[in-house]
Each structure stands twice: as C-alpha cells, then as structure tokens.
Amino acid sequence: MEYFNASDFLLLTADLPVIDVRSPSEFAAGHIPSAVNVPLFADDERAIVGTIYKQKGQQSAMDKGMEFVEPKMAALANAAKSIAIGDKVGVYCWRGGMRSNRTAWWFEENGLQCSVLTGGYKAYRNWALQDFGKPKNLVVLDGPTGSGKTEILHALKAAGEQIIDIEGFANHKGSAFGGIGLGKQPSSQQFQNDLHHELAQLDTEKRIWIEREGMTVGKVYLPQPLWHKMRESTAVAIEVPLSVRVERLVKDYGSAPKDLLENSIRKLQQKLGGQNMNAALELLKENELDEVAKVLLNYYDKRYSFSKEKYLERKPLIIELDSNDANVNAKRLITLANENGL
C-alpha cells in the first residue's frame, strides 16, 4: 500500500482506476472525475454509524460499521478486482481515514496493489481550489448576450488554442433561458471538479481562453480563485451588430417550447419591469420572436455594461466582428491576441 498527496494522486489517475469508498450521497455531491463509487456504507448505514460515534464514541461506531461491512466484504473485493487494471487501483474516502485504509487493506489481502489518497477527498478539494489560481495567462472572452462567444470559443480550440468552456461543464448558458433543453446541472462541487480536471490537461504557462461569466452559472458556483483570476486578467470584448445577435438568439431558442420561454421571461419580471415583461409575452404569443429578442436584449445589454464596469479590473481590448462565421472571428481574435502579446 502506498500513500500519495493530492497532486501526485491525480497524476496517477491518468492510468490508474480510482475507487471512491464513500456513501452514494457523498459521491453524488462531488467526486474525483475519474472515480468509480464502491461504497463501504449505504447512506442510511453511514448515518447510523455517525450517530453512534457522537453518542457512544469511536469503538462503538467501529463495531457497528464492521457489522454493516462484514457481509459485503467479498462483494467489495470482487468489485475492486473488476475495476483494477493490472491488479492496481487507487482508493480514497472523505479524509483518508479508516474507510479508505481498511478498504485498501482488504483489497490488498485479495491480491490488489492500492494507492491511497492522503487526506482523502477533502485534501483533493482544498488542493484543486488553490490550483485554480495557477494559470498565468487567461484571456477572458467578453461580449453581450447573443454575440456567439461559445461558438467562437470552440472555433478557437479547433484552431489550436487552449480553452475552458465554463458553460459546457455547468450545462447551462448563464441566463434565465440558459437551462432550456439542457437537462440537469451537476452539483457545484462536481462542476468545479470537472473544471479542474480540464485545467489539469492544459499548459498553464501558455494562453488559455475563457468566457466571462458571473459568479454563478445557473445554480452552480465558480471556484473563487478562478473568479478572481478572471477578474484581473486581460479581457477581449467583442462587438457584434444587434441584427446578428437577434438572429442567433432566435436560432438558438426559437424552436423551444413556448411554455418554457414564457416561464423564463416571467423569471425576469422584477428586472424587466411589468410593462416590458408583458410586451415580451404578447410578442411571444404572436410568434414575433425577433421582437421578443430585442425587448430582452435591451435588458441584457444594460446588465452587460454594468457588470463589465464592475467586475473587470482592466480595460478590455475591443474588437468589432461583422462576420457571423465563428472560424473567421476566432482567427481575428488570435491575431489580436498575438499583436498585443497576450
């Protein structure tokens, strides 16, 4: 059995399958992206053991835990063997305590070689959050709603640039309409873990493009070190004609069910004002989608101007993009970045 700190353990996961022995609810709240859940305790069992620990102490809790685990031991070992590659597997629990140590011991008794994460998932989270401050050259892609930032971001990647797609990992486009058609979002922890996994694949000494977002994207939160890094980084603000933005929004959302669009508009009542909200709803009923987009963009553009002034610590570079071709626009952004030493 070998023990590794968080950074070394994560390096191993490129080739080493990893087992998370925490309960299913702990795993669902957040886990190392490559991990497989082989829980030592079910959720109700973990709750019982925790209560006994508080009321009667460690030994009583351990005795109850063994009562739960003993009937599962053969199944746990078989599960680990089915996951292991070359008889090797990584193991972690919450704090790197008894759950991971006892489980790793049992796996080794059954012929496996185990690498254990020192400090467990908690140590991994602390290390990962600090690691978000590591990139030396973030370039923040900014621009008003409907300007095609995400499309451009992926065109940048296709052109060989490094990117982080926050909205992709959040499974949300960041507005009141951002969740339409995308399904459930991950937990904030898992969103951050997945972001970190992506960051770990990049060269943090070189340029990395990232779209400017608020502190929250839908229901998930950006890691604070990354948020602060984005605020202090150089931003490139794209300016796109209103007609192009309206066209893109209608294309992206026009085919969505009308009831979902209506619900999203109603969410903005306090910010739009009753009169503008009612106007947008009436236009939606008449299927005047271009006009709906214009009403909404009037609000979103004011919000964009305010947030740009408030949250960007440096004056952004501004570039006007007349083309609706993301690949053309990506090339222009690369040229601008190179000319300005970004």
Q: What is the pLDDT of residues 198-254, one digit of tens each?
A: 999 999 999 999 999 889 999 999 999 999 999 999 999 999 999 999 999 999 888
**Same structural domain for residues 123 and 138?**
no
Q: Cβ distance 39 to 69 under 8 Å? A: no
- Rounded CA-CA distance 223/277 in Å is 33
The domain of 112 spans 2-129
Residue 307 has pLDDT above 90, yes or no: no
- What pLDDT sits at residue 272? 85
**Same structural domain for residues 124 and 137?**
no
Of the listed 10, 38, 76, 93, which one is catalytic? 93
The pLDDT > 90 percentage for the chain reads 78
**Same structural domain for residues 153 and 271?**
yes
pLDDT band at 182 (very low <50, low <70, confident <90, very high): confident
Domain final residue pick, 101, 129, 157: 129
What order of strands is seen across the sheet that includes strand 88-92? 2-4, 113-117, 88-92, 18-20, 35-37
User: What is the crossing angle of helices 258-267 and 289-311, to 10°?
Assistant: 40
How much is the average pLDDT of 51-68? 89
Neighbours of 232 (CB within 10 A): 11
Average pLDDT, the chain: 93
- Rounded CA-CA distance 121/147 in Å is 39
**Same structural domain for residues 105 and 161?**
no
CA distances, 278 to each of 26, 281, 292 (Å): 44, 5, 11
Domain final residue pick, 104, 129, 154: 129
pLDDT digits (tens, 9 = 90+) for 219-233: 999 999 999 999 999
Token pair 């508009």 is at which residue?
265
Phi, psi (rounded to 5 degrees) for 91: -140, 140
Q: Tokens for 24? A: 């299913």
| Amino acid letter for position 19 | I
**Same structural domain for residues 251 and 299?**
yes
**Same structural domain for residues 165 and 36?**
no
CATH number, domain with residue 13: 3.40.250.10
**Same structural domain for residues 51 and 87?**
yes
Per the confidence metrics, is the pTM higher than 0.95?
A: no
CATH number, domain with residue 295: 3.40.50.300
93 is annotated as an active-site residue: yes
Structural domain count, the chain: 2
Of 92, 93, 40, nearest to 69 by C-alpha is: 40
- What pLDDT sits at residue 273? 87
Q: Cβ distance 3 to 116 under 8 Å? A: yes
What order of strands is seen across the sheet that includes strand 162-164? 162-164, 208-211, 138-142, 234-239, 317-320
User: What is the crossing angle of helices 258-267 and 274-285, to 10°?
Assistant: 170
| Amino acid letter for position 229 | K
Residue 89 has pLDDT above 80, yes or no: yes
**Which residues have C-beta within 8 Å of that of residue 124, sequence separation ≥ 6?**
6, 9, 10, 32, 92, 117
CA distances, 104 to each of 18, 36, 97, 182 (Å): 12, 15, 11, 39
| Amino acid letter for position 8 | D
- Rounded CA-CA distance 184/170 in Å is 9
- Rounded CA-CA distance 80/116 in Å is 14
Of 165, 111, 93, nearest to 102 by C-alpha is: 93
